[in-house]
Chain A
Amino acid sequence: MTNLLEIKHLSKSYNGIPALRDINLSIPAGEIHGLIGANGSGKTTLMNILFGNPVIEATGGYEGEIYFNGQKTVFKNCGQAIKQGIGMIHQEFALIPDMTVAENIKLGRENTVDFARRLFGPSFSFVDRKRDDAGARRTLSKLGIDIDVGLKIVDLTSNLKQFVEIAREIDRSDLQLLILDEPTAVLSSSDGWQLIQILKEMSARDIAILFISHRLEEIQQVCDRVSVLRDGRLVAQYDKKDVSINRLARDMIGHLVEKASADKRDIANRPIITFKGFAVDMPGEAIRGLDLEVYEGEILGITSLSGHGKLALGYGMMGMYPVEGEVVYRNQRLSRMDARWNIMNGMYFLPDDRRELGIIADQSVEDNIIFTGNQVKNMFMTGFLGSFPGFVDRAQSRWYVNKMIEDFDIKCRSPKQKVKELSGGNQQKVCIARALTVDPALLFVAEPTRGIDIAAKEKILNMLIQINRSRNTTIIIMSSELDELKRVCDRIAVMVQGKVFKILSPHASDVDFALALSGEEGMPYEQL
């Protein structure tokens, strides 16, 4: 087999700080090559070089050689890389929000009306929407997705956006090398498996795939060979038969990870909150008629396939989207969702989209942690006239924040450091610290471990367990990570079509969960 891509002695540094050191890597056509590494190990830099991201050129280029199809190549911009047959699925979406799904998938490869093309040439002819739509629909259905291709990207959930991004790349006929940068990081687990099957089909058609992922299980399942990056070095390379998750994990972070897990209990005392026919109108992730009783002091998991409503509950409770139906919270009927009232009365929500909704990126760790407590509950105030004029008691807040930083092991230079400079895991810890400041009785957490590297994930899960046990806080975790839910939760509700389909015990088998997730008649995991 000839090598489609060969990288020789590749090094790259940003302002003197090395990001990649002497990488040698070759990928033959039709191979699925896994690339793993913790955050900051140089994966993204490698991708940027391969895909001709202008950032590389702007920061002084790289050393070493890249051969593509046997020819020495330097990718100066993304257009060049695309022309050569390289496709990339980005970790952060590269979609145009105001265009429809079909337009995004067909962007740059539109079908055009024949007559107009002959008259005006391809650049100025009319786009044949019907054929574009049909083509886009066909590609999406290969991925098992059935949505209206006329929807705009802004209105989609992040899971669906990821699918559109994937569809755009697999729709290309000239594709030779596909790079996936953490494609499943935002996909719920079972969607991830579907993607993997498509990748296998593609590799059978001699398309080489470079697959970057945090998820070791996936890598083990799908890849023909796996390379491990650590601190910019290629530390190990395995063939499929030699891959083991433990070994990969050790190579990746240099030590073994202790997994969080809660001892199982039986909790069925009085309910803290009850939903009856509860509906949340969140685009692409709507809840339509939720009936659910949540017991005081339990950790309840909510999971579903993407688009079936697992994420909407927290947003609905905080009044971000219109809601309907009955909610009884501590014997009190809530008619209207008012974020301030709900927080005052002991509810809190940690959103899944941390960067956009969970933090004020430009403010300090301290201000982020005290924000809600200060604004809603008038904590950390100096003052004599109640909350007027409302200056912060810095001595008190500094003491509290320092204690939080110590308790939760938040890695920051000082409480004054800006939150945007912290890693994803530490940002999540800041979010949790802020939640605890208002001392909630009922905590909604959406995708607590999304986009966080494996070592930090377990810490976050342990924090949640600890909060539940020590403060008797009821926690509802909305997540697609079934494995994590099973380790942490007392009960797991599976949602289908915006309703609770089944409530399972965390001891239930994967097959039961797979069946429940797909509404009984789906495909169990073993078939993959």
Chain B
Amino acid sequence: MSSYKLKPPQIIISLFLLLLVIMAASMQMDLIGFFNQSIVKLVMNGVLVLSLIPMLNVGAGMNFGLPVGIVGGLLGMCLAVNFRLTGIHGFGMALLFSLLFCMLLGWIYGLILNRVKGREEIAGIFIGYSFIPLMNYAWTLLPFTNREMLYPIGGQGLRPRISLENYFNHVLDDLGVITVGAVEIPCGLLAFYALIAVFLYLFFATKAGRAAIAVGENESFARLSGINIEKTRMIAIVISTIIAGFGICVYAQSYGFIQLYDEPLSLTFPAIAAILIGGSTGKKTYIFEAVLGTYLLQSIYLLTVPIANAILVPELTEIIRTMITYGIILYALLIRERRGAER
């Protein structure tokens, strides 16, 4: 890391963010409030972004099949809510259930990805898109019994949005908040984020983690050195899926709702946009890049909305948000292609 050089996407987006901050300041908006929110947003989306790293490092590309892990997390949370588990205890159980579901789903996902080696990104997109309709059936048919989760009329099938109000809404957000003046630092939330990051860092220092990086960088070399390629990729894919499951749990407790049905699909692109902004080139990615990318992207989201509201028509904000996400992916891909060509 000592010789780390800032990459163009990081610099450009940082400058854009700086511009937004200046604009917000000139309009006398509540900058400290934005800062407080930006920290929450960072962790809320950050774990999902971190979940991309193991697959990137093992050479399986951007995890466009993120919905697989998300569904695992949703299943875990639904189970916790169904058993009426509340508070931090409920959240912990949700994580535990997600872990089990994600291990199973990740294993199946890994089996598929090991067969489409080299085309994981496009395969992931289609796995995501075909898995979601299947789950749509499951959400309506699974025998959940908690009335608060079910459609109020008819009493069967899960609601698209399940409120966590009575369960574990904001348990992490409100855990160990330190207030300095107007600045609020959610220590519990940050600690959870740091825990995942440290876990990833330690994983890549272990023997299996180092093997994963070698496979990502030079598969033939790893094979000649007696590394079991399939197994190594499988480990990385399962870990990616598990962290994605945890990611949606953190997201949901912050957001206040479990969002089912087609919602998981809408989380993939922002996560990938974030890691691309962070400077990932689709290969080995540093944790630092994922954190930086998430913070930049989420802060921009946060600031564009009120600024666009003030300057433009209010309806434009959603359009701008979408434009930023997809535009950034396109831009980062262009940068990545050009850098590849130079090499």
Q: Can you name the residue of chain B whose Cβ is closest to the Cβ of A378? A: B207
* Cβ < 8 Å to B, chain A residues 339-354: 339-344, 349, 351
Is B220 a contact partner of A357 (Cβ separation < 8 A)?
A: yes
Kindly list chain A residues whose C-beta atoms are within 8 Å of the C-beta of B218.
Answer: 356-357, 359-361
Is B205 a contact partner of A371 (Cβ separation < 8 A)?
A: no
Is B205 a contact partner of A391 (Cβ separation < 8 A)?
A: yes
Judged by a CB distance under 8 angstroms, whether A154 is at the interface is no
Is A390 a contact partner of B206 (Cβ separation < 8 A)?
A: yes
Smallest CB–CB gap between A342 and chain B, Å?
7
Interface SS of chain B: helix, strand, loop or mixed? helix
Smallest CB–CB gap between B226 and chain A, Å?
3
Is B226 a contact partner of A390 (Cβ separation < 8 A)?
A: no
Judged by a CB distance under 8 angstroms, whether B211 is at the interface is yes
Query: How many angstroms from the CA of A504 to the CA of B79 in the assembled complex?
Result: 74
Kindly list chain B residues whose C-beta atoms are within 8 Å of the C-beta of A23.
Answer: none
Is A360 a contact partner of B214 (Cβ separation < 8 A)?
A: yes
Contact among B208, B221, B223, B225 for A390, CB-based, below 8 A = B208
Residue among A356, A359, A361, A391 with the highest chain B CB neighbour number at 10 A: A391
Is A360 a contact partner of B221 (Cβ separation < 8 A)?
A: yes
Kindly list chain A residues whose C-beta atoms are within 8 Å of the C-beta of B226.
Answer: 318, 338-344, 372, 375-376
Query: How many angstroms from the CA of A338 to the CA of B221 in the assembled complex?
Result: 14
Judged by a CB distance under 8 angstroms, whether B311 is at the interface is no
Is A375 a contact partner of B224 (Cβ separation < 8 A)?
A: no
Is B210 a contact partner of A362 (Cβ separation < 8 A)?
A: no
Judged by a CB distance under 8 angstroms, whether A210 is at the interface is no
Is A339 a contact partner of B223 (Cβ separation < 8 A)?
A: yes
Judged by a CB distance under 8 angstroms, whether A396 is at the interface is no
Known A381-B207, A387-B207: A375·B227 in contact at CB below 8 Å: yes
Judged by a CB distance under 8 angstroms, whether A363 is at the interface is yes
Judged by a CB distance under 8 angstroms, whether A392 is at the interface is yes
Judged by a CB distance under 8 angstroms, whether B319 is at the interface is no
Judged by a CB distance under 8 angstroms, whether B228 is at the interface is yes
Q: Can you name the residue of chain B whose Cβ is closest to the Cβ of A362? A: B217
Judged by a CB distance under 8 angstroms, whether B134 is at the interface is no
Smallest CB–CB gap between B17 and chain A, Å?
30
Is A349 a contact partner of B217 (Cβ separation < 8 A)?
A: no
Judged by a CB distance under 8 angstroms, whether A254 is at the interface is no
Smallest CB–CB gap between B58 and chain A, Å?
14
Is B221 a contact partner of A359 (Cβ separation < 8 A)?
A: yes
Query: How many angstroms from the CA of A261 to the CA of B209 in the assembled complex?
Result: 43
Interface range, A side: 20 to 34
Smallest CB–CB gap between A420 and chain B, Å?
11
Residue among B205, B211, B217, B226 with the highest chain A CB neighbour number at 10 A: B226
Judged by a CB distance under 8 angstroms, whether B284 is at the interface is yes
Query: How many angstroms from the CA of A351 to the CA of B208 in the assembled complex?
Result: 24
Judged by a CB distance under 8 angstroms, whether A216 is at the interface is no
* Cβ < 8 Å to B, chain A residues 348-401: 349, 351, 356-363, 367, 371-372, 374-376, 378, 381, 387, 389-392
Q: Can you name the residue of chain B whose Cβ is closest to the Cβ of A373? A: B225
Is A363 a contact partner of B217 (Cβ separation < 8 A)?
A: yes
Judged by a CB distance under 8 angstroms, whether A320 is at the interface is yes
Contact among B202, B223, B224, B225 for A389, CB-based, below 8 A = B202
Contact among A342, A367, A372, A390 for B207, CB-based, below 8 A = A390
Smallest CB–CB gap between A391 and chain B, Å?
5
Tally of chain B residues near chain A (CB < 8 A): 20
Is A375 a contact partner of B206 (Cβ separation < 8 A)?
A: no
Is B210 a contact partner of A374 (Cβ separation < 8 A)?
A: yes
Is A389 a contact partner of B228 (Cβ separation < 8 A)?
A: no
Is B208 a contact partner of A343 (Cβ separation < 8 A)?
A: no
Kindly list chain A residues whose C-beta atoms are within 8 Å of the C-beta of B213.
Answer: 363
Is B207 a contact partner of A358 (Cβ separation < 8 A)?
A: no
* Cβ < 8 Å to B, chain A residues 33-80: none
Is B224 a contact partner of A339 (Cβ separation < 8 A)?
A: yes
Query: How many angstroms from the CA of A358 to the CA of B206 in the assembled complex?
Result: 22
Query: How many angstroms from the CA of A359 to the CA of B224 in the assembled complex?
Result: 11
Query: How many angstroms from the CA of A316 to the CA of B194 in the assembled complex?
Result: 46
Query: How many angstroms from the CA of A389 to the CA of B206 in the assembled complex?
Result: 6
Query: How many angstroms from the CA of A338 to the CA of B225 in the assembled complex?
Result: 10
Kindly list chain B residues whose C-beta atoms are within 8 Å of the C-beta of A319.
Answer: 223
Query: How many angstroms from the CA of A216 to the CA of B284 in the assembled complex?
Result: 42
Kindly list chain A residues whose C-beta atoms are within 8 Å of the C-beta of B228.
Answer: 340
Contact with A along B215-253 (1 / 0, CB 8 A): 001101101111110000000000000000000000000
Smallest CB–CB gap between A524 and chain B, Å?
37
Query: How many angstroms from the CA of A363 to the CA of B224 in the assembled complex?
Result: 17
Query: How many angstroms from the CA of A344 to the CA of B228 in the assembled complex?
Result: 14
* Cβ < 8 Å to A, chain B residues 160-209: 202, 205-208
Kindly list chain A residues whose C-beta atoms are within 8 Å of the C-beta of B208.
Answer: 390
Query: How many angstroms from the CA of A349 to the CA of B213 in the assembled complex?
Result: 21
Is B217 a contact partner of A375 (Cβ separation < 8 A)?
A: no
Known A340-B228, A375-B227: A391·B221 in contact at CB below 8 Å: no
Contact among B205, B210, B220, B225 for A343, CB-based, below 8 A = B225
Contact among B205, B210, B211, B224 for A318, CB-based, below 8 A = B224
Smallest CB–CB gap between A234 and chain B, Å?
31
Is B206 a contact partner of A372 (Cβ separation < 8 A)?
A: no
Query: How many angstroms from the CA of A359 to the CA of B206 in the assembled complex?
Result: 20
Query: How many angstroms from the CA of A339 to the CA of B225 in the assembled complex?
Result: 7
Query: How many angstroms from the CA of A95 to the CA of B294 in the assembled complex?
Result: 41
Is B221 a contact partner of A358 (Cβ separation < 8 A)?
A: yes
Is A376 a contact partner of B202 (Cβ separation < 8 A)?
A: no
Smallest CB–CB gap between B8 and chain A, Å?
18
Is B221 a contact partner of A375 (Cβ separation < 8 A)?
A: no
Query: How many angstroms from the CA of A362 to the CA of B223 in the assembled complex?
Result: 17
Smallest CB–CB gap between A176 and chain B, Å?
31
Kindly list chain A residues whose C-beta atoms are within 8 Å of the C-beta of B225.
Answer: 339, 343, 371-372, 375-376
Is B221 a contact partner of A392 (Cβ separation < 8 A)?
A: no
Kindly list chain B residues whose C-beta atoms are within 8 Å of the C-beta of A372.
Answer: 225-226
Query: How many angstroms from the CA of A338 to the CA of B211 in the assembled complex?
Result: 17
Query: How many angstroms from the CA of A340 to the CA of B208 in the assembled complex?
Result: 15
Kindly list chain A residues whose C-beta atoms are within 8 Å of the C-beta of B202.
Answer: 389
Contact among A320, A343, A360, A376 for B217, CB-based, below 8 A = A360
Kindly list chain A residues whose C-beta atoms are within 8 Å of the C-beta of B211.
Answer: 375
Kindly list chain B residues whose C-beta atoms are within 8 Å of the C-beta of A360.
Answer: 214, 217-218, 221
Contact among A340, A341, A375, A376 for B210, CB-based, below 8 A = A375
Smallest CB–CB gap between B295 and chain A, Å?
26
Kindly list chain B residues whose C-beta atoms are within 8 Å of the C-beta of A374.
Answer: 207, 210
Contact among A344, A349, A387, A390 for B224, CB-based, below 8 A = A349
Q: Can you name the residue of chain A whose Cβ is closest to the Cβ of B217? A: A360
Smallest CB–CB gap between B338 and chain A, Å?
13
Smallest CB–CB gap between B33 and chain A, Å?
42
Is A392 a contact partner of B224 (Cβ separation < 8 A)?
A: no
Smallest CB–CB gap between B237 and chain A, Å?
19
Known A362-B217, A362-B284, A363-B217: A391·B206 in contact at CB below 8 Å: yes
Query: How many angstroms from the CA of A376 to the CA of B225 in the assembled complex?
Result: 8
* Cβ < 8 Å to B, chain A residues 303-346: 318-320, 338-344
Query: How many angstroms from the CA of A390 to the CA of B209 in the assembled complex?
Result: 9
Q: Can you name the residue of chain B whose Cβ is closest to the Cβ of A341? A: B226
Is A357 a contact partner of B221 (Cβ separation < 8 A)?
A: yes
Smallest CB–CB gap between B45 and chain A, Å?
29
Kindly list chain A residues whose C-beta atoms are within 8 Å of the C-beta of B224.
Answer: 318, 320, 339, 349, 351, 357
Q: Which residues of B contact A (CB under 8 A)?
A: 202, 205-208, 210-211, 213-214, 217-218, 220-221, 223-228, 284
Pick 24 A–B contacts, CB within 8 A, sort by A: A318-B223, A318-B226, A320-B223, A320-B224, A338-B226, A339-B223, A339-B224, A339-B225, A340-B228, A344-B226, A349-B224, A356-B221, A357-B220, A357-B221, A360-B218, A362-B217, A363-B213, A375-B207, A375-B211, A376-B226, A389-B207, A390-B206, A390-B207, A392-B205
5 further interface pairs, Cβ-Cβ under 8 Å (given A375-B211, A389-B202, A390-B208): A359-B221, A362-B284, A375-B226, A375-B227, A392-B205
In order of increasing CB-CB distance, the 8 nearest A-B pairs are A390-B207, A340-B226, A339-B226, A390-B206, A372-B225, A389-B206, A343-B226, A357-B220
